[in-house]
Amino acid sequence: MGSRIQNHRNGIVTLAPHLLPERRPLAELPTHRHEGEFEWFFCAEGGGVQAVGNWREPVRPGQLLLIPPGEPHVFAADPACGCRCEVLMMPYGFPEGEGAAAAEARLLLGFWRKRVLERGFIAGLPEEAARRGGELMRRIRRWSERPAFGGTLRTHAALLELLALAFELDDPPRYRPGTATPEHDAAIETVLYFLDNHFSRRISVAEAAQLAGMSRSVFHRRFTRETGMSFCVYLNRLRLRAAEALIADGASAENAAARCGFFSRSNFFDQRRRYGEECGKG
């Protein structure tokens, strides 16, 4: 499949295979999965069909795909011309370490996983951004093939830039309620971004404060000042906006309540009566 380059310092694997034309039916091809790695796949030339579970989609040059860990998949290269591609395997826990940059990167990786599982495994980026992703993968492979001083740093920066392509997507957070200020400092924005992607699960004030790197009392003051509401009120309004959007798309109230973190259908309606007038604002 092409040379497999292991970068031990960054924990990644890169490949640049030329996949030969595949004439067998897709259903006859064996699938595989990666238990601890995300697979980034960029089609440089040719094309084919990517299957992930029951999902099937033709792939053309210039498209970037992401397949999360544990998903059975197979790629059938174009039967006429095959496919030249860049492949990068990114560890599930990337990046290691503490600090705001590492926390934001892990949130972005979680965002990507949630997005492709919900919408399909083609990243959905503008073509220029997708090609930039392919170029980043090519550079990472080159630096891994020829280790030199600065290569680890450049590779790490390129991996973060690959994750940050999420900001090129045409779908900013959909459910945020209006806040007192449109922009927030980095610590509060990290919490808001976490809530964008994890509002459906139990999240305590203590957990949010820890994510922001603050004590509970400081976090409460900062969050209230920047959003105009307490953490619990913000989270309830966020969940209500998400549930209302699901109901508008045809989901039942019970299903929407369960998917958006409410204890029950009645809990959803209780919160709706309490905050319903405000949750649609912003």
- Say yes or no: 267 and 164 in one domain: no
Tens-digit pLDDT profile for residues 168-204: 887 655 677 877 666 778 899 889 988 987 888 889 9
pLDDT at 274 over 80: yes
The CATH number of the domain holding residue 216 is 1.10.10.60
CATH number at residue 89: 2.60.120.280
Longest Cα–Cα distance of the chain, Å, equals 64
Give the C-alpha distances (Å, rounded to integers) separating 38 from 19, 35, 83, 89.
20, 9, 20, 6
Instruction: Report the b/e string of 21-33 with b at 16+ CB within 10 A.
Output: ebeeeeeeeeeee
Bigger pLDDT: 234 vs 145? 234
Question: What is the structure's pLDDT at 119?
Answer: 86
Q: According to the per-residue pLDDT averaged within each range, which of 5-19, 108-122, 124-138, 234-248 is highest?
A: 124-138
Regarding whether 20 and 160 lie in a shared domain, the answer is yes
What pLDDT score was predicted for residue 170?
73
Domain boundary residue, one of 117, 134, 168 = 168
Residues 141 and 86: their CA atoms lie apart, in Å, by 9
Residue 174 forms part of a structural domain: no
Do residues 69 and 37 lie in contact, with contact meaning Cβ atoms separated by under 8 Å?
yes
Q: Give the pLDDT of residue 5.
A: 67
Q: Are 147 and 262 part of one and the same domain? A: no
- 224 contacts 265 by C-beta, under 8 angstroms: no
Range of the domain at 210: 186-279
pLDDT of residue 259: 85
pLDDT for 125 equals 93
> Could you read off the pLDDT of 119-144 as tens digits, one per residue?
899 999 999 999 999 999 999 999 98
Do 220 and 107 fall within a single domain?
Answer: no
For 85-106, the pLDDT digits (tens) are 999 999 988 888 776 677 778 8
